[in-house]
């Protein structure tokens, strides 16, 4: 390897490479490139850690993995493939989370340098803190689409990964998601929350049922009824949902409707897709309609019934989908119902096969999970007269990405604060394109959202304090483009 | 128009290429799927370009090299197995290239680039020459590509330095432009973002013109200060090859370093460029091939090939330089008469 052939590197660099021990955190798009570059350069003592397994959608850029490796551990296959490039190297693979307590300060102190090739902020924060505690140099990286960036983090010399606040995640008011969606994204976020309520890690902040504590309703009775447990519109609403399907909401002191959790409800109905449909897209919608204040300036939602939609099925024309891939064809409403049936059956089967207390983990590359969310998002969009989206487009949304959650806040003031602070951030200006630094799970700009602005700030402030870092990218200066 | 010329993307391809179709669109994927590429020179850089384009899903790629695998090759070309030393490097690289993507046709050609007639290049949409420092030959291949309609790339990695030259002749492409408008809805200001596709055209120079610059002319004497030192490193290396018919060798590091400095002085004098334009430290950095630099330059070349084939996004015009002398920055510059 290069450092083992004299004359390629100046001697001092050659010796440092040969004597170094390095850690690569993450064996995704960047991790695969890194491992290849490290072994070919002559680094022979390498450890790599990744908790993930290989998916077919990884293969277009995580080139150490091939079709026959799908389903296997990323770190282990990456090790095997990298060894083919350099059989003499000593590579240790950990199929594990770097955030596990097994990897403490003494683990980090074994290394000359640690390289992050991660796809989420939580793990980046963790490794950043561990490297500071262990006093080890960290090389932090990220990429999204055509963009990418690298930063060196060294205790006492540079800023760390968390020195600058990151751009806030996109946020929506809870009542927009639960009561008054107006854009496709609102329905997609709602559908993802529904998936988690039914099969995933149910988060109380991700409730999908109608929210009777909507501030718009409170304004109606401003001042006089807040202490009296609910206005008349709320009690009407309560009555209307009690008919139907046995969930018995009751307004509590805070004005919220107490309900059996969506999961318990679904379980008690054996995940029957028709009953689920009836509750979500008919009964809950009727309940929302009863909050008449919400609809005084809005288009009213239309409750749907399963039978009416299925009756439309025969009227459907054959789809002409020449020249596009299956995912890019928009589903009709009857098709959504069929997909909902199949996907609900599959997800509930898998969920019920798990030990009690365990749950499914959201993965947008999982066929049934993605089908479920697309179908539910589109049915809800139809209810509210919002344009529907193809499965391809729904999957594009970063709200569905593993590392980034959309936050839903209850309070409009809180939302405004977050939005104001987010708009104060300048867009990312670092750029380095090319396949070489292609990304992990983040082709749809997730990384750019979360890490680039801060990385730019780090660079800028490093310059101010005469740190030996790189020039910020200059925009086209006549005809020159500088890529860092 | 496109649909009648290009194959339909299958569901298997849609699954494999999911992430990149999201990035550059289905039409771009179809254009890639219809393109034939020649990669000449299976050094570390050639291997990177090959890997990136095979992964991207071109129709076919021909690996061309008449040389045999050496111990210097296997520290940079990860497609050539260690036990292939002594075998033809194009042949040796074929299997691993194919394993990267079974949907791409991977071919090999063991003949010397210098012996190929002009008609040979007409078989390709893209010609990338990755290991050739013979200036006259590069200029000849560039001419062949112009007459056959292929786009032409010449690129090289020398130690920790790398460059790319591109000639797309007349290139038409589309670029996405975002337009923001403010609309007032229910008394609230809302920003709407619209993406428009704008058609553009760009003209390129041939390599002969790009290498032949009068640095005393008013246009270039004022630009000289901002020109990348990489442009002059490239000239020194082409001159080294013209004189010695080989590249600087790691095994002759000290002697070749001195020779590089001698060439630098006479070449810059001839170009009437001040000597301090190129720091002598460059002569330490141009031995063998260093894998991370191959990855950077190979990434740029492949990304540029993808832009050219898909006719989407503004291409680099016409040089890219990377060297550790310039703070590890990659620089794109348009240089030529």
The pLDDT of residue A237 is 39
Both ends of chain A: CA-CA distance in Å?
26
The pLDDT of residue A421 is 56
Are A98 and A147 members of one domain? yes
DSSP A349-407: HHHHHSPTT------TT-HHHHHHHHHHHHHHHHHTT-----HHHHHH-GGGSSS-PPE
Contacts of A327 in chain B (CB under 8 A): 14
Where residue A198 sits, what CATH number does that domain have? 1.10.10.520
C-alpha span between B289 and B73 (Å, rounded)? 8
Q: Are A30 and A141 in contact (CB under 8 A)?
A: yes
Asked whether residue A478 is assigned to any structural domain, the reply reads no
pLDDT above 90 as % of chain A: 51
List the one residue out of A444, A433, A440, A442 whose CA is nearest residue A78.
A440
Q: What is the mean pLDDT of residues A210-226?
A: 65
Chain B residue whose CA is closest to A393: B22
C-alpha span between A255 and B102 (Å, rounded)? 60
Question: What domains, with CATH codes, occur in chain B?
Answer: 2-170+291-324 (3.40.50.720), 172-203 (no CATH), 207-284 (no CATH)
Are A107 and A160 members of one domain? yes
Contacts of B289 in chain A (CB under 8 A): 2, 8
Q: Which residues form the domain of A25?
A: 2-167+427-464
Q: Are A420 and A11 in contact (CB under 8 A)?
A: no
Are A145 and A188 members of one domain? no
Reported as a pLDDT band with limits 50, 70 and 90, residue A265 is confident
Are A364 and A442 members of one domain? no
**Residue B324, CA distances (Å) to A217, B158, B199, B292, B294 in order:** 63, 12, 36, 12, 13
Q: How many residues does chain B have?
A: 337
C-alpha span between A484 and B325 (Å, rounded)? 13
Chain A residue whose CA is closest to B18: A57
Number of domains in chain A: 2
List the one residue out of B265, B262, B261 whose CA is nearest residue B283.
B261
Asked whether residue A477 is assigned to any structural domain, the reply reads no
Of the residues A367, A386, A420, which one is the last residue of a structural domain?
A420
Are A53 and A179 members of one domain? no
Contacts of A478 in chain B (CB under 8 A): 226
- Asked if A435 lies within 8 A of B18 by C-beta distance, the reply is no
Reported as a pLDDT band with limits 50, 70 and 90, residue A151 is very high
| pLDDT tens track for B142-170 | 999 999 999 999 999 999 999 999 999 99
Are A113 and A130 members of one domain? yes
- Asked if A482 lies within 8 A of B330 by C-beta distance, the reply is yes
Asked whether residue A14 is assigned to any structural domain, the reply reads yes
Only one residue has tokens 């350099």, namely A86
Are A97 and A40 members of one domain? yes
Asked whether residue A471 is assigned to any structural domain, the reply reads no
List the one residue out of A337, A386, A347 whose CA is nearest residue A368.
A347
Given 3-state DSSP classes, what are the helix, strand and coil percentages for chain B, each rounded to the nearest 5? 50, 25, 30
C-alpha span between B59 and B67 (Å, rounded)? 25
Beta bridge partners of B126: B37, B151
The pLDDT of residue A215 is 81
> For the ranges A476-480, B98-102, B122-126, which has the lowest average pLDDT?
A476-480
Are A78 and A131 members of one domain? yes
| pLDDT tens track for A392-429 | 888 877 656 544 434 555 555 555 655 555 444 433 33
- Asked if B22 lies within 8 A of A443 by C-beta distance, the reply is yes
| pLDDT tens track for A463-474 | 333 333 333 333
Whether B291 and chain A come into contact, CB under 8 Å, resolves to yes
- Examine the pLDDT at B106 and tell me if it is beyond 80: yes
List the one residue out of A91, A43, A58 whose CA is nearest residue B291.
A43
- Give contacts of A 119-148 with B, CB under 8 A: 145-146
- Examine the pLDDT at A258 and tell me if it is beyond 70: no
- Asked if A57 lies within 8 A of B16 by C-beta distance, the reply is yes
- Asked if B296 lies within 8 A of A436 by C-beta distance, the reply is yes
Q: Using DSSP, state whether B154 is helix, strand or coil.
A: strand
Whether B327 and chain A come into contact, CB under 8 Å, resolves to yes
Backbone φ and ψ of A225, nearest 5°: -120, 5
| pLDDT tens track for B228-242 | 999 999 999 999 999
Are A157 and A262 members of one domain? no
| Helical residues (DSSP H) of chain B, grouped into ranges | 2-5, 11-16, 18-24, 26-33, 44-56, 89-100, 135-148, 207-211, 218-223, 229-244, 253-271, 291-310
- Asked if A325 lies within 8 A of B316 by C-beta distance, the reply is no
Asked whether residue A113 is assigned to any structural domain, the reply reads yes
Q: Within chain A, what is the greatest distance between any pair of CA atoms?
A: 85
Contacts of B187 (CB under 8 A, 6+ apart): none
Where residue A25 sits, what CATH number does that domain have? 3.40.50.720
The pLDDT of residue A320 is 53
Q: Which helix (H) or strand (E) holds B174?
A: strand B170-185
Are A282 and A151 members of one domain? no
C-alpha span between B290 and B157 (Å, rounded)? 8
Asked whether residue A123 is assigned to any structural domain, the reply reads yes
Reported as a pLDDT band with limits 50, 70 and 90, residue A299 is very high
- Would the annotation count A30 as a binding residue? yes
Are A351 and A435 members of one domain? no
| pLDDT tens track for B29-55 | 999 999 999 999 999 999 999 999 999
- Give contacts of B 2-61 with A, CB under 8 A: 3, 8-9, 11, 14-23, 26, 44, 48, 51-52, 55-57
C-alpha span between A389 and A381 (Å, rounded)? 9
Contacts of A412 in chain B (CB under 8 A): none
| Angle made by CA atoms A421, A425, A430, in degrees to the nearest 5 | 160
- Asked if A436 lies within 8 A of B48 by C-beta distance, the reply is yes
| pLDDT tens track for B169-203 | 999 999 988 888 777 766 667 777 788 889 999 99
Asked whether residue A475 is assigned to any structural domain, the reply reads no
The pLDDT of residue B9 is 83
Beta bridge partners of B60: B36, B105
Are A277 and A325 members of one domain? yes
Q: What is the mean pLDDT of residues B248-255?
A: 96
Chain A residue whose CA is closest to B325: A470
Q: Are B86 and B68 in contact (CB under 8 A)?
A: yes
| pLDDT tens track for A162-178 | 998 877 667 788 889 99
Half-sphere exposure of B111 (CA within 13 A, CB side): 9
Asked whether residue A162 is assigned to any structural domain, the reply reads yes
Question: A357: exposed, middle or buried (C-beta count within 10 Å: 0-12, 13-18, 19+)?
Answer: exposed
Residue A347 catalytic?
Answer: no
List the one residue out of A99, A102, A80 whose CA is nearest residue A91.
A80
List the one residue out of B307, B305, B312, B331 whose CA is nearest residue B153.
B305
C-alpha span between B139 and B142 (Å, rounded)? 5
Of the residues A365, A396, A420, which one is the last residue of a structural domain?
A420
**Residue A442, CA distances (Å) to A145, A366, A371, A446, A451 in order:** 7, 16, 20, 5, 12
C-alpha span between B237 and B287 (Å, rounded)? 11
Whether A483 and chain B come into contact, CB under 8 Å, resolves to yes
């Amino acid at each position: 390897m290069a450092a083992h052939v004299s004359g390629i590197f100046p001697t001092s660099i050659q010796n440092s490479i040969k004597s170094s021990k390095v850690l690569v955190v993450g064996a995704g798009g960047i991790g695969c490139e890194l491992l290849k570059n490290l072994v070919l350069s002559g680094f022979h003592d390498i450890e790599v850690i990744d908790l993930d397994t290989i998916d077919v959608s990884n293969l277009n850029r995580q080139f150490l993995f091939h079709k026959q490796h799908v389903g296997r551990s990323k770190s282990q296959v990456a090790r095997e493939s990298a060894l083919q490039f350099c059989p003499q190297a000593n590579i240790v693979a950990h199929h594990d989370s770097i955030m596990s307590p097994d990897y403490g300060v003494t683990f980090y102190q074994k290394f000359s340098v640690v390289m992050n090739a991660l796809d989420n902020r939580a793990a980046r924060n963790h490794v950043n803190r561990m490297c500071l505690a262990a006093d080890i140099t960290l090389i932090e990286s990220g990429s999204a689409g055509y963009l990418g960036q690298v930063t060196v983090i060294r205790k006492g010399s540079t800023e760390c990964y968390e020195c600058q606040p990151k751009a806030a995640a996109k946020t929506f008011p809870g009542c927009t998601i639960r009561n008054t969606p107006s854009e496709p994204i609102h329905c997609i976020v709602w559908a993802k929350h529904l998936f988690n309520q039914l099969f995933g890690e149910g988060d109380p902040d991700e409730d999908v049922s109608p929210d009777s504590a909507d501030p718009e309703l409170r304004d109606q009775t401003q001042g006089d009824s807040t202490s009296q447990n609910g206005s008349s519109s709320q009690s009407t609403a309560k009555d209307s949902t009690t008919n139907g399907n046995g969930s018995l909401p009751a307004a509590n002191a805070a004005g919220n409707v107490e309900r059996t959790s969506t999961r318990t409800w679904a379980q008690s109905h054996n995940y029957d897709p028709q009953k689920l449909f009836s509750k979500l897209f008919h009964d809950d919608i009727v309940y929302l309609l009863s909050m008449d204040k919400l609809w005084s300036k809005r288009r009213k939602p239309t409750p749907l019934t399963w039978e009416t939609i299925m009756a439309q099925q025969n009227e459907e024309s054959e789809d002409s989908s020449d020249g596009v891939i299956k995912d890019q064809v928009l589903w009709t409403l009857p098709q959504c119902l069929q997909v909902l049936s199949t996907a609900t059956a599959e997800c509930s089967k898998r969920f019920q096969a798990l030990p009690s207390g365990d749950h499914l983990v959201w993965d947008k590359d999982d066929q049934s999970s993605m089908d479920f969310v697309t179908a539910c998002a589109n049915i809800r969009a139809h209810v509210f007269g919002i344009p529907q989206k193809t499965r391809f487009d729904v999957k594009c949304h970063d709200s569905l990405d593993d590392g980034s959650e959309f936050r839903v806040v209850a309070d409009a003031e809180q939302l405004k604060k977050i939005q104001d602070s987010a708009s104060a951030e300048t867009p990312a200006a670092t750029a380095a394109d090319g396949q070489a630094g292609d990304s992990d799970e983040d082709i749809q700009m997730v990384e750019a959202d979360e890490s680039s602005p801060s990385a730019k700030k780090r660079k800028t402030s490093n310059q101010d304090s005469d740190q030996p870092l790189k020039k910020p990218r200059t925009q086209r200066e006549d005809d020159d483009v500088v890529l860092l | 128009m496109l649909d009648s010329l290009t194959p339909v993307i299958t569901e298997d391809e849609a699954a494999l290429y999911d992430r990149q179709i999201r990035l550059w669109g289905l039409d771009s994927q179809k254009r890639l799927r219809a393109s034939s590429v020649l990669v000449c020179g299976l050094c570390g850089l050639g291997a990177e370009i090959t890997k990136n384009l095979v992964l991207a899903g071109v129709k076919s790629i021909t690996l061309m090299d008449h040389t045999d695998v050496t111990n210097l090759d296997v520290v940079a070309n990860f497609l050539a197995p260690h036990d292939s030393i002594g075998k033809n490097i194009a042949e040796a690289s074929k299997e691993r290239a194919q394993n990267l993507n079974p949907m791409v046709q991977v071919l090999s050609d063991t003949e010397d680039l210098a012996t190929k007639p002009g008609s040979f290049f007409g078989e390709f949409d893209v010609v990338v020459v990755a290991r050739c420092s013979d200036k006259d030959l590069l200029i000849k291949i560039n001419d062949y590509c112009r007459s056959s309609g292929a786009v032409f790339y010449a690129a090289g990695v020398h130690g920790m330095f790398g460059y790319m030259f591109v000639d797309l002749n007349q290139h038409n492409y589309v670029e996405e432009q975002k337009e923001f408008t403010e609309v007032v809805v229910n008394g609230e200001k809302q920003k709407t973002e619209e993406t428009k596709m704008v058609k553009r055209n760009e003209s390129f120079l041939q390599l002969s013109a790009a290498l032949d610059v009068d640095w005393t002319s008013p246009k270039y004497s004022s630009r000289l200060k901002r020109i990348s030192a990489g442009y002059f490193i490239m000239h020194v290396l082409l001159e080294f090859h013209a004189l010695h018919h080989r590249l600087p060798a790691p095994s002759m590091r000290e002697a070749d370093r001195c020779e590089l400095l001698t060439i630098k002085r006479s070449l810059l004098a001839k170009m009437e460029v001040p000597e301090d334009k190129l720091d002598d430290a460059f002569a330490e950095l141009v031995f063998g091939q260093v894998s991370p630099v191959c990855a950077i330059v190979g990434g740029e070349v492949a990304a540029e090939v993808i832009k050219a084939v898909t006719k989407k996004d503004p291409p680099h015009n016409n040089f890219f330089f990377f060297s550790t002398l310039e703070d590890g920055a990659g620089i794109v510059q348009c240089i030529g008469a």
